[in-house]
């Protein structure tokens, strides 16, 4: 247990990477305010997590400013302040540019862009007033090194922008003692990849080690950044050299 528990907001907390991040902080003795689109998904996650006194679910569309404000308000109400924000919620749609629809654009801009901006905006003033805090954005390795094997213009556009926004916000908040970093995962083992052997072999081939990472690899990177006192403006690839170049 932590001597001084932190309060952590995690978006996209009901499954995959977000669930693993929430679990890691809860196991360290911290408090987590988790967001997902529906309360049903959040309640199922809460039941699996097993820390009812330390996990507060806040359902809502993270693209809406009201959801971000509700996350901040519930966190402060339940636990006094917010120490860490993990902007994890995201959609990944890979297809040729000609195949993207207007609905695709709205969905990715809503979740990936607005879902970063509004929560960050909500907590930035709060953290700056406290002279401390960490914001970590979960972006994507493919935004660092696009590949012809996976046409994915919209994720590269938004996640690549978030990598640069991470640096910009780190500079803006540095005088207030707030750290801003990003983790850029490569192919990570989550339920969305399924069990099809052909698909998994293709995904393995997207990095030079021919492997797929686990959610714990991303968790370890996030914990390193939020434990750090002298790291800000960094984009940490977790992709086993997938963004290092071509091969």
Q: Which tens digits make up the pLDDT trace of 209-238?
A: 999 999 999 999 999 999 999 999 999 999
Which CATH architecture does the domain made up of 7-238 adopt? 3-Layer(aba) Sandwich (3.40)
Q: Rounded mean pLDDT of the chain?
A: 96
Q: Which tens digits make up the pLDDT trace of 100-127?
A: 999 999 999 999 999 999 999 999 999 9
Domains in the chain: boundaries: 7-238
What's the per-residue H, E or C state across the chain? CCCCCCEEEEECCCCHHHHHHHHHHHHCCCEEEEEECCHHHHHHHHHHHCCCCCEEEEECCCCCHHHHHHHHHHHHHHHCCCCEEEECCCCCCCECHHHCCHHHHHHHHHHHHHHHHHHHHHHHHHHHHHCCEEEEEECCHHHCCCCCCCCEHHHHHHHHHHHHHHHHHHHHHHHHCEEEEEEEECCECCHHHCCCHHHHHHHHCCCCCCCCECHHHHHHHHHHHHHCCCCCCCEEEECCCCCCCCC
Give the pLDDT mean for 130-158.
97
Task: Report the percentage of the chain scoring pLDDT > 90.
Answer: 90
Q: Which tens digits make up the pLDDT trace of 58-106?
A: 999 999 999 999 999 999 999 999 999 999 999 999 999 999 999 999 9
Q: Using an 8 Å Cβ cutoff, are 137 and 166 in contact?
A: yes
What's residue 132's pLDDT? 98
Q: Name which of 90, 35, 41 is nearest 67 in CA terms.
A: 35
User: What's the pLDDT band for 246 if we cut at 50, 70, 90?
Assistant: confident
Residue 194: pLDDT over 70: no
Dihedral of CA atoms 63, 68, 74, 80 in degrees, nearest 10, equals: 150
CB-count burial class (<10 Å; 0-12, 13-18, 19+) for 162: buried
What's residue 153's pLDDT? 98
Residue 193: pLDDT over 70: no
Residue 3: pLDDT over 70: no
Q: Which tens digits make up the pLDDT trace of 66-76?
A: 999 999 999 99
Residue 197: pLDDT over 90: no
Q: Name which of 143, 188, 155, 163 is nearest 17 in CA terms.
A: 188
């Amino acid at each position: 247990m932590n001597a001084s528990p932190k309060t952590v907001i995690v978006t996209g907390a009901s499954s995959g990477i977000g669930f693993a991040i929430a679990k890691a902080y809860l196991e360290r003795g911290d408090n987590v305010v988790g967001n997902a689109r529906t309360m049903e998904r959040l309640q199922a996650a809460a039941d699996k997590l097993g820390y009812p006194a330390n996990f507060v679910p806040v359902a809502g569309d993270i693209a809406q400013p009201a959801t971000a404000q509700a996350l901040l308000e519930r966190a402060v109400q339940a636990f006094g302040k917010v120490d860490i924000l993990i902007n994890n919620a995201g959609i990944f749609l890979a297809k040729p540019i000609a195949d993207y629809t207007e609905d695709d654009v709205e969905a990715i801009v809503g979740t990936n862009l607005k879902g970063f901006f509004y929560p960050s905006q909500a907590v930035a003033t709060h953290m700056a007033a406290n002279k401390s805090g960490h914001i970590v954005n979960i972006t994507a390795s493919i935004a660092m090194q696009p590949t012809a094997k996976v046409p994915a213009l919209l994720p590269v556009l938004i996640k690549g922008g978030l990598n640069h926004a991470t640096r910009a916000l780190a500079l803006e908040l540095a005088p207030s003692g707030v750290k801003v970093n990003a983790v850029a995962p490569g192919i990570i083992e989550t339920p969305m990849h399924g069990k099809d052997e052909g698909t998994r072999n293709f995904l393995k081939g997207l990095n030079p080690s021919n492997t797929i990472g686990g959610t714990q690899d991303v968790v370890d990177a996030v914990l390193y950044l939020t434990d750090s006192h002298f790291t800000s403006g960094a984009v940490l690839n977790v992709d086993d050299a997938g963004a290092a170049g071509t091969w």
